[in-house]
Amino acid sequence: MIDSESSFRNGQNSETFETSSFLRKVLGSEVLPLVPRNSKLFIPHHSHTTKTYKLKSRTAKDRFNSRFPNLNLTYYTDLTRNLISKCYPKNCPTCKIPLTKGISTRENVLRCSKCNCQVSLTKDTPLEHLKIPLWTFSYIFLEAIQRSPLGLSASEIQRRLGVSKSTATLLKRRLQIFLSDLIPSIKREMVKDLKKAWKGRNLPESGDLKPFIEGKPVVHMDTLALFSASQRANGFRKRYKHKGQTASIYLTDAVALEKGKYQIGTLVHTIAIKGGPVILSSVPDQKQKTLMPLMDFIPEDSPIFSDEGMPWMERYNKNFRSINHSARANDSKRNVWARNRWSKDSINNQVAEGIQRSVKYSFLASYSYINPKYSTLYLNEYSALKGLKVYGLDRLLGRKSGLLGNVGNG
């Protein structure tokens, strides 16, 4: 049987063992274990033996793992350990050196090579106090990557692992917290690409912008009402207090008192780049004081394309351009709407609108409905999985490991 500590060796090439080029691109060769994922572990059987062995009583972990005879649990266990070790590295409290060695009989422990000090692998990480085996995390993590942009619901985790609903939901939350820690790294890489392409450059005031923006990253923004409330959900009462998109996510005050909840839908602000990452944020409204903090990480000279929902943005970014989706046709007798109301002079926000179409479909197909108070976790999960496919884990972590936020100290 292959030793579980083999995944912590440096300088090994996993391409010989792992055939999926997609996983190598997303996770990198350092994280993927040396054990082939789809192989069966060979346990020698000696029929002619004279020795007698004392059978050990099976633990709860052994009984749980016995439900999955067709899975290479060593592969997924090593993958989880590699992910946690690279994203949340541990140092020996005495020797102050990085801990890389594991213990074959204790999957959740790291050991110092000098003083033999033992430290918990999952302490101050999203997997702290995880009561089920470590391999379950990487199992659903790979499933979430391969399913993206569709989501992996807690009900699907419950069916696949055969655990209770509360355990599946908790495992889903741990996955979302881990992916939420990748968002700052994704923003950092977005800033690098934008500065490289647009530092010190300005767009012309008029004319077609296609020659200036072709092949360069441009930020597209828009807002989406997700799981909006129908008039039936509002007690068949019209909503005069709220206008625009916020009218569809809030209930009337009288109905809210009866049902005990006020917000029923989610308003999503989208920041997207064509062929690049996307940042989704849950917002209560479209006011300037709400949306401005979401754009603090974007460089000042980066072009931003949006609709006319953010007229105040022109005062802060001279490369901001907007498109009027309500433009009327010049010949009003023949046409009502203008032909260039979706794109004019290469100015449009179709990238953000395309992402929002995917978000709306995937959330409806995967979850049917999400509670607004958990909307940030679900949106971060979608954004992080998209960023992983664009940049890869090695680039997001940088040259040094351990650049993710530490949720244990938050």
| pLDDT above 50 (res 336) | yes
| pLDDT above 50 (res 410) | no
How far is residue 162 CA from its own chain's centroid? Answer: 24
| pLDDT above 70 (res 310) | yes
Q: How confident is the model at residue 69 (pLDDT cuts 50, 70, 90)?
A: confident
At 265 the pLDDT is 86
Burial of 246 (0-12, 13-18, 19+ CB in 10 A): buried
Q: pTM of the predicted model, to two decimals? A: 0.84
| pLDDT above 90 (res 143) | yes
Q: How confident is the model at residue 329 (pLDDT cuts 50, 70, 90)?
A: confident
pLDDT tens string 165-211: 999 999 999 999 999 999 999 999 999 999 999 988 889 988 899 99
Report the distance separating Cα 197 and Cα 214, nearest Å. 11
Pairing label, strands 101-103, 106-111: antiparallel
Q: Report the Cα–Cα distance between both ends of the chain, in Å, rounded.
A: 40
pLDDT tens string 343-369: 999 999 999 999 999 999 999 999 999
Q: How confident is the model at residue 212 (pLDDT cuts 50, 70, 90)?
A: very high
pLDDT tens string 14-61: 333 344 677 778 888 778 776 555 554 444 445 455 555 556 677 888
When comparing pLDDT for 262 and 164, which is higher?
A: 164
At 232 the pLDDT is 67
- List the Cα angle 307/313/314 in 5-degree steps: 100
At 4 the pLDDT is 38
Report the distance separating Cα 325 and Cα 230, nearest Å. 24
Six-digit token string for 307: 């609709």
How far is residue 383 CA from its own chain's centroid? Answer: 5
Report in angstroms the alpha-carbon separations of 293 from 76, 220, 283, 297, 331: 39, 16, 11, 9, 41
- Give residues with Cβ within 8 angstroms of 31, minimum separation 6: 79, 82, 83, 86, 393
Domain positions in the chain are: 4-44+51-180, 204-227+265-390
When comparing pLDDT for 247 and 119, which is higher?
A: 119
Structural contact between residues 92 and 119, judged by C-beta atoms closer than 8 angstroms: yes
Calculate what percentage of the chain has a pLDDT beyond 90: 48
At 222 the pLDDT is 94
Q: How confident is the model at residue 80 (pLDDT cuts 50, 70, 90)?
A: very high
Q: How confident is the model at residue 62 (pLDDT cuts 50, 70, 90)?
A: confident
Burial of 402 (0-12, 13-18, 19+ CB in 10 A): middle
Report the distance separating Cα 402 and Cα 91, nearest Å. 11
Q: How confident is the model at residue 121 (pLDDT cuts 50, 70, 90)?
A: confident
> The domain 204-227+265-390: what is its CATH number?
3.30.420
Mean of pLDDT values over 249-277: 84
Report the distance separating Cα 344 and Cα 324, nearest Å. 9
At 392 the pLDDT is 92
At 53 the pLDDT is 56
| pLDDT above 80 (res 249) | yes
At 409 the pLDDT is 38
pLDDT tens string 362-396: 999 999 999 999 999 999 999 999 999 999 999 99
> CB neighbours (10 Å) of residue 268?
25
Burial of 78 (0-12, 13-18, 19+ CB in 10 A): buried
Mean pLDDT in the chain?
83
Report the distance separating Cα 241 and Cα 250, nearest Å. 10
